[in-house]
Structure 1
Amino acid sequence: MTTRTRRQRQRETHTQREERESGGGTTGIDLIGEDLLQNILSRLPALTFASAACVSHSWNTLCNRVLCRPKLSSAFSLNPSPKGAVEEVVDKVLSEPLRPHFAIACVSYASSLKRAQVHQLITQKLGSTIPIVTYKSSGIIGRNAITNDFKEVQWHRTLQEDPGAEDDNLSSKTVTDGILLVVGFLPGLKVDAVPLARPIEDRQAVLVDEFVMDIREFTAYVSDCTSPAGIMMFGGLTIDVKPVLDKLDYAMSIETFIVGDESGHFLYRELVDSGKPQRRPRFKTLGVALVFARDRNKPHGIGEIGFHVALSSGLSPIGPVFKAAAVKERRDLNDCSTWLTARREEHHDILDGQTMLSDISDEIGDHFEYTGLYIGVTKRRKYSVELEKVRWISSLAFHEVSRGDEEYLFVYGSGIKTGDSFRFYYSDSSTASSSCSNVSAYFRRLKQDQHDGICPDVGRAAANGSNKEIFGGILFSCCGRGEPFFDRPNVDSSPFLENFPGVPLAGTFCCGEIGRCSSSLYNQEGQEESAVRCCLHAYSSVYLVMSYTPALPEH
């Protein structure tokens, strides 16, 4: 070979290498064809997929084509090691192509897994560019990252390790450690964490109006309106979240879903440049909301994401309707209670707590001592945000009954006024089972996409579309439910699993389930379905189902 020929070949090799590194020319792997390459890319784990998208413009286009539809991915681990548990759940949720837009992590209250450590580890794994909420819950619902088995796990409950074994060989353990991780990719939406705060120097001044305005400002910054598609609320242990939910119900469009967990220890990470004020040193965070807003700059060809809310109630009404006669509130540093007397509607006799409870006990019977007892109070109040016009809103609020004596009925919480009407409710597994069946029936209609725009369980408009597909669900269930309540496992999950097998479902057991819906689910006789709403529940399960309708092809 001559020296000239050798130099020509060297120049050709150098040119080919430059074209390959700049994304130009044709490499060996490009020769396999776009369809096959796209198939290969679709099988990559998320981190490798992200690297592949940076190889060249053509690869990035193919990656965008692979990941053009929304996705929800979740997994739980019962590994007592924080690092081990995080590794398991992250590896599972990122085992397929995914670009996280938000993440939620649930950790046990009594767990040896430190919330701050878990939050830091997950942030390191997923990156600091997405909103993340990490909080302690009463249990988790989802699929095991290792075995892929679906379970509803409540902490301190006995979990059978080998349910197929003979009875005398069953091995079991008490579950105290675990992590559930939920990661979502929602093209066409923007997601951020908005904190609810109070000034450090004033324990009573909760900045609810500022919280509402922050949500509106973020939504207006990314969208064409001030009311987002939805709000997922996580309350802290030191706040009564009822007034906050009432203000959100007043301020947000009826199309905005509101779901979440009333009470828990939480940490969060928000976006820095998202169009909302950043309140830091002199404020204490009492709660946080994941806000889902429609993106005005949604990429071309992306379809519509829909949200559908359903409720399974576990409370049954009992006894007559009462009106509060005398009302007193008692507050301490960590709690608030209300003392009240009442009269039956159309009667004048004032009844004390012991009389009312004796009557209810006679109706419930032998199970009274083992029943969660509440009063459901219908409240009509004035609401406004800052200088906006005042509007009357009617809502149903539940207060757990503490006890009763010869003078007062004692209930937890505040906000009851003289003249408010209320009715007693008790926790009932039969009611809950029947309500789960109703939710399952609604999901069947949603699956078939034959209902005409209204969800009967929540009184909300549902998205229509001939090619609608369900891609994920999130469940908030009362910690008083679960296997001990129903005497069988996975009842709360069953409406979703039966109708959408293979679709990711993740959930948590709560101490107060948030779900904006009509009070008609609680048999409020004589009230218009849309006139009275209820946002905070007891012994219930709140389902958030996510659907996707692809964009119509251009003609």
Structure 2
Amino acid sequence: MTDSPKTKLHGGGGSGFGSIGEDVLESILRRLPAATFASAACVSRSWHRVCRRILSRPKLASALSLNPCAQNALQEVVDKVLSEPICPHFAIVNVGNNVNMTDALQYIGRKLGAGTPIVISADSGIIGVDALINQVKEVEGGIDVGSYNSEDSDNAEQGIVLTVGFVPGLKVDVVPLLHLVEVNEDTLMVDKFITDITEYSVAMSGCSTPVGVIMFGDGVAEIKSAAEKLDYAMPLETAIVGDEKGNFEYRSADNSRYVPAIGLQDYTASAIALVFAKDRHKCPGLGDIKFHVALSDGLSTIGPRHRAASVKVDDCCTLLTARREGQEEILDGEGILNDIRDELENRVEYPDVYIGVTKRRVYKVGAEKAKSMSFLSFHGVMGGVEYLRVEGSGIESGDNFQFYYSDPAAALASCHKVSARMRSLNPGSDSDCSDKVGNIVASVGKSWVFGGFIFSSFGRGESFFNDFNVDSSPFVENFPGVPVAGIFCGGEIGRCSPSLCVQDSEEGTSVRRVCHVYSTVYLLMSYTQAPPGAAVTS
């Protein structure tokens, strides 16, 4: 026979709580900081049951600090995030470029416990809820962004955002993309990376398909091809988001699972993936967590299409000549650029220009049968006279490409479309509610959005839109009070969920896009309650 809410408890010993009802006890326990709450859960079976009820739903706790002292900023976000009950299943830390990531990783690791997987990344700016004033801020910083005149610019490089997640029903760990360095070989171990992700998912859930993957690249190795291969290997229901170029450190729950025991000194991690897999031992009373991805594009097309004629790689750049679509004449770099210079002159002042290359490639992982797939891949235009010079590699003769330019008007319109799409999932503010734990959640049909992450191009922000907090506005407007965190990064990774897709690729639905430029990728995390009558066991 279970205790009723008014049943007197006897597990408190001499603490003075032995004669209070469960409803009063719950009211007290839910106000405790995380560490004290964890201790209270061990007092007795009755207290443990109440604590489980308090943390019966997933929760994201996040805080941003712009304290000019990095250590004080770190203390502020930790104190804020752990000021309420939460059981850390993972942590993501986004910091300014001058924060010592190793020190921050060690400090947060001690606070969260040895078994919590942690990712810490240094990027070109941070997005989060200020720990002091409880408002969402977008703070651009670092040398990549250039001139930023916000009053927060002096503190941007010291800024810290800490996000801790409690996701019952999921298992989480960090999987590295290893980079093998030997005398005659320099290889990204992409197949092993994908196999490690699927094997982790199988071990945790019995299914090779994880719920979601958040990637972080190191900005040194070009991981675009790895992200595309991961996109190829994972079904569309697996959310994939992240940052292609940044700096990171990490801690896995079990790093021995992924790093070979022999020749350890020959390996580095060029990227990592925070992998979310279903828990095969999930309690029957728990609901389901789902990930949803939306994309705000910031590019517009310009000029005719071209087909690459000759291609060669020179010091991490690609040099090419091309034919204009429908013509046989081979154009040099200057001839190719002449097609777009006049059109750009009357459009946007000082835009960044890219070529979007349609690459049809053959992919396979391990011994599986090879399949072909087409991706749209962006390369920044660096100039050209004899050859068109673009950033990166991976372009082949015969690939088609189109010119794109950064367009604030298109980006703003895309933000509005994303907001409207999110609004279609959230019928209105009347559906906003507060659960028994006091967490603010927003209704999405029969679900609740309990948190989100934003990955925005460092080229966007206030300087791009001439306005504040545009990139975060679709999430904030539709889910006010729901925790959100993010970064301004050097290359956005994301594939849009069908329910949140605002437009199809101009190349057609058969062409995939997973790596972006001048975009903002949104990850929404929602929770659907279990059917009535399914109770969470003690």
With normalisation by structure 2, the TM-score equals: 0.89
**Match of 2:302?**
318
**Match of 1:352?**
332
Q: Are residues 1:159 and 2:140 paired? A: no
2:369 to 376, 389, 409: 389
**Match of 2:125?**
139
**Match of 1:197?**
178
- Of residues 210-219 and 116-125 in structure 1, the stretch that sits farther from structure 2 once superposed is 116-125
Which AA in structure 2 matches 1:376?
Answer: G
Where 1:205 maps in the other structure, the secondary structure is: strand
Residues 363 and 82 from structure 1, CA distance in 2 versus in 1: closer, same or farther, beyond 3 angstroms? same
Which AA in structure 2 matches 1:145?
Answer: A
Deviation at 1:380, TM superposition (A): 0.6
Deviation at 1:378, TM superposition (A): 0.6
Where 2:178 maps in the other structure, the secondary structure is: strand
1:262 to 230, 244, 247: 244
Q: Are residues 1:232 and 2:214 paired? A: yes
Which AA in structure 2 matches 1:206?
Answer: L
Residues 138 and 337 from structure 1, CA distance in 2 versus in 1: closer, same or farther, beyond 3 angstroms? same
Residues 181 and 465 from structure 1, CA distance in 2 versus in 1: closer, same or farther, beyond 3 angstroms? closer
- Of residues 204-213 and 274-283 in structure 1, the stretch that sits farther from structure 2 once superposed is 274-283
**Match of 1:57?**
45
Deviation string, structure 1 residues 60-86 (Cα, Å, up to 9, x no partner): 111000001011111111123232111
- Of residues 338-347 and 301-310 in structure 1, the stretch that sits farther from structure 2 once superposed is 338-347
Q: Is the 8 A contact 1:214 1:277 kept in 2?
A: no
Which AA in structure 2 matches 1:250?
Answer: Y
**Match of 1:102?**
90
**Match of 1:516?**
495
Deviation at 1:100, TM superposition (A): 0.7
Q: Distance in 2 between matches of 1:356 and 1:36?
A: 73
**Match of 1:455?**
none
Residues 175 and 215 from structure 1, CA distance in 2 versus in 1: closer, same or farther, beyond 3 angstroms? closer
Q: Is the 8 A contact 2:176 2:270 kept in 1?
A: yes
**Match of 2:110?**
124
Where 2:362 maps in the other structure, the secondary structure is: strand
Q: Are residues 1:499 and 2:481 paired? A: no
Q: Distance in 2 between matches of 1:260 and 1:359?
A: 34
Q: Distance in 2 between matches of 1:316 and 1:243?
A: 23
Q: Is the 8 A contact 1:315 1:425 kept in 2?
A: yes
Residues 142 and 115 from structure 1, CA distance in 2 versus in 1: closer, same or farther, beyond 3 angstroms? same
Where 1:175 maps in the other structure, the secondary structure is: helix
**Match of 2:56?**
68
Which AA in structure 2 matches 1:68?
Answer: S
2:416 to 430, 434, 437: 437
Q: Distance in 1 between matches of 2:13 and 2:93?
A: 44
Which AA in structure 1 matches 2:306?
Answer: F
Deviation string, structure 1 residues 301-353 (Cα, Å, up to 9, x no partner): 1101111100000000111111111111113xxxx111111112221111221
Q: Is the 8 A contact 2:125 2:156 kept in 1?
A: no
**Match of 2:451?**
472
**Match of 1:272?**
254
Q: Are residues 1:423 and 2:407 paired? A: no
Where 2:236 maps in the other structure, the secondary structure is: coil
Q: Distance in 1 between matches of 2:202 and 2:56?
A: 25
**Match of 2:431?**
none
With normalisation by structure 1, the TM-score equals: 0.86
Which AA in structure 1 matches 2:375?
Answer: S
Which AA in structure 2 matches 1:31?
Answer: S
**Match of 2:292?**
308
Q: Distance in 1 between matches of 2:96 and 2:13?
A: 54
Where 2:401 maps in the other structure, the secondary structure is: strand
Where 2:468 maps in the other structure, the secondary structure is: coil
Deviation at 1:87, TM superposition (A): 0.9
Q: Distance in 2 between matches of 1:27 and 1:342?
A: 79
Question: RMSD of aligned C-alpha atoms?
Answer: 2.3
Where 1:159 maps in the other structure, the secondary structure is: coil
Where 2:405 maps in the other structure, the secondary structure is: strand
2:280 to 293, 296, 313: 296
Q: Are residues 1:286 and 2:286 paired? A: no
- Of residues 292-301 and 540-549 in structure 1, the stretch that sits farther from structure 2 once superposed is 292-301
Instruction: Please list every run of 5 or more consecutive structure 1 residues that lacks an aligned counterpart in the other structure.
Output: 1-18, 162-171, 450-463
Q: Is the 8 A contact 1:82 1:118 kept in 2?
A: no
Where 1:286 maps in the other structure, the secondary structure is: strand
Where 1:44 maps in the other structure, the secondary structure is: coil
Deviation at 1:465, TM superposition (A): 7.6
Q: Is the 8 A contact 2:354 2:405 kept in 1?
A: yes
Residues 466 and 483 from structure 1, CA distance in 2 versus in 1: closer, same or farther, beyond 3 angstroms? closer
Q: Are residues 1:541 and 2:523 paired? A: no
Deviation at 1:142, TM superposition (A): 1.0
Q: Is the 8 A contact 1:217 1:276 kept in 2?
A: no
Q: Is the 8 A contact 2:288 2:530 kept in 1?
A: yes
Which AA in structure 2 matches 1:130?
Answer: T
Q: Distance in 1 between matches of 2:469 and 2:460?
A: 10
Deviation string, structure 1 residues 213-267 (Cα, Å, up to 9, x no partner): 1111111100121121111000012211111011101211111111001111211
Instruction: Please list every run of 5 or more consecutive structure 2 residues that lacks an aligned counterpart in the other structure.
Output: 1-8, 143-147, 429-442
Deviation at 1:273, TM superposition (A): 7.6
Deviation string, structure 1 residues 397-448 (Cα, Å, up to 9, x no partner): 000000011x211101111111111100000000000000010001101112
2:19 to 31, 37, 43: 31
1:554 to 507, 528, 533: 533
Which AA in structure 2 matches 1:481?
Answer: R
Q: Distance in 1 between matches of 2:256 and 2:207?
A: 15
Where 2:513 maps in the other structure, the secondary structure is: strand
Larger radius of gyration: 1
2:321 to 296, 318, 341: 341
Residues 276 and 296 from structure 1, CA distance in 2 versus in 1: closer, same or farther, beyond 3 angstroms? farther
**Match of 1:411?**
390
Identity among equivalent positions (%) equals 52
Residues 534 and 511 from structure 1, CA distance in 2 versus in 1: closer, same or farther, beyond 3 angstroms? same
